[in-house]
Amino acid sequence: MAQGRQTDAAMSRPDDATAWSTLMARVQDGDAVAYRRLLEDVTPYLRSLVTRHRGLSGETEDVVQDILLTLHAVRHTYDPDRPFGPWLVAIARRRIVDRLRRRGRIAAAETSLEPEHETIAATAANIHMTIDRRRELQEAIRALPAGQRQALLLLKLRGLSLKEAALESGMSIAALKVASHRALKALREMLGKRT
């Protein structure tokens, strides 16, 4: 009803719509020539429908093909007594909405790759910390309990293996594991709170 009026208004060339109706009826009877003409005729129209949605830039052809495939799959649902335009536009709208939704879902779950995520081989290039943050980190490490601080220094900063760190510190491997885990957690909390 309301949608019908809207879609009629959206049809750019109403005279085409009647021709499309006839073509579609022939398609249902298996006329491949009519089908090719219809699909080639509606494709630019569909493209213009899709490009109106800015969220789909770069995917226009994908969405147009999606709509053509859907049209193919449901071609038996077209009633030749009814106008073709609203039928086509309704299918196109559904596909566009589906695509926009999927885009939204993907965008919500992903973080785009920014230049600062680039990792460069030189160590210095990967240090983004300002002097301020570095001081904060040093203070946080200093604030850790002695056992945790030692485990962190040996395992994470000097990069020793668990066995080597156990020999050097006299702590058991299990205790080292626990201490370094707790140290990282504590650091994360301390630094997280201040940001």
Partner 1 sequence: MVSTPDLIDELCTGLKPVRRLRPPLLRTALWLLLAATIVALLAAFRGTRTDLLLLLQAPAFAAAFAGSLLTGALSAVAAFQLSLPDRPRLWLLLSAPPLVLWLSTIGYGCLTDWVSLGPDGVRLGSTLECFATLLLVSLPAAAALALMLRSTAWIDPTPVAISGGLAVGGIAASAMTLLHDLDATVMVLVWTLGATALIAALGGLLGRRIFRPL
Question: Among residue numbers 96 through 125, which ones bind partner 1 (CB under 8 A)?
Answer: none
Binding partner 1 (rule: CB under 8 A), the pick from 8, 10, 70, 175 is: 70
Task: Give min distance, CB of 8 to partner 1, in A.
Answer: 11
Stretch that binds partner 1, among 26-34, 123-131, 177-185, 186-194 (CB under 8 A): 26-34
Query: On the CB side of 115, how many CA atoms lie within 13 Å of its CA?
Result: 1
Binding partner 1 (rule: CB under 8 A), the pick from 13, 82, 105, 134 is: 82
Residue 149, classified by CB atoms within 10 Å of its CB into exposed (0-12), middle (13-18) or buried (19+), is: middle
Q: Is residue 72 a contact point for partner 1 (CB under 8 A)?
A: yes
- For partner 1, give the closer residue by CB, 62 or 164: 62
Binding partner 1 (rule: CB under 8 A), the pick from 39, 56, 162, 175 is: 39
> Position 56: which residue type?
L
Tokens read off for 142: 């200093």
Q: Is residue 68 a contact point for partner 1 (CB under 8 A)?
A: yes
Q: Is residue 190 a contact point for partner 1 (CB under 8 A)?
A: no
Other Cβ atoms closer than 10 A to 15? 8
If binding means CB under 8 A, how many residues of this protein chain bind partner 1?
Answer: 37
DSSP assigned state of 52: T
What does the alpha-carbon distance between residue 3 and residue 14 come to, in Å, rounded to a whole number? Answer: 16
Stretch that binds partner 1, among 37-45, 114-122, 150-158, 165-173 (CB under 8 A): 37-45
Q: Is residue 177 a contact point for partner 1 (CB under 8 A)?
A: no
3-state SS assignment for residue 41: helix
What does the alpha-carbon distance between residue 64 and residue 43 come to, in Å, rounded to a whole number? Answer: 7
Tokens read off for 164: 């080597």
Residues for the chain: how many in total? 195
Binding site for partner 1 (CB under 8 A): 1-4, 27-32, 35-36, 39-40, 43, 61-62, 64-65, 68-70, 72-80, 82, 86-87, 90-91, 94
